[in-house]
Amino acid sequence: MFDTLPFARNKYPGARASLDALCKRFGIDNSHRELHGALLDAEILADVYLVMTGGQYSLMDFNETENVAKQGDVRLSSDRAKLKVISCTTEERDAHRNRLEAIKQSSGVCLWNDE
């Protein structure tokens, strides 16, 4: 669990930290947000969280242009920086696979295992 409100207030002291204000700051289009629905707010907040914590601008796949055309739902400004791709190390990949295997052994199934 991560609370973006104190994080935003700490990162930008004195600035407004509402979801609308953060969307405006980061160029995230929330114009389709007429009502405060939990699912829609969570989707928008996911984009805000990614920008605030690491410079990633979207939860979409790496081929953003193709996905946007398929989904027809664009919330991010077109003039934003390109998505920075950070690959994991061999050690991180091995640790991840070991964790997935431990989950599979403990419960009999692992939804995140690609095998």
The residues annotated with a catalytic role in the active site are: 36
Residue 83, CA distances (Å) to 21, 42, 53, 65, 67 in order: 22, 21, 14, 12, 14
Taking the chain, what is the end-to-end CA distance rounded to the nearest angstrom? 28
Residues 6+ away with beta carbon under 8 Å from 25: 12, 15
Residue whose C-alpha is closest to residue 46's, from 32, 63, 61, 59: 59
Provide the 10 A C-beta neighbour count for residue 33: 16
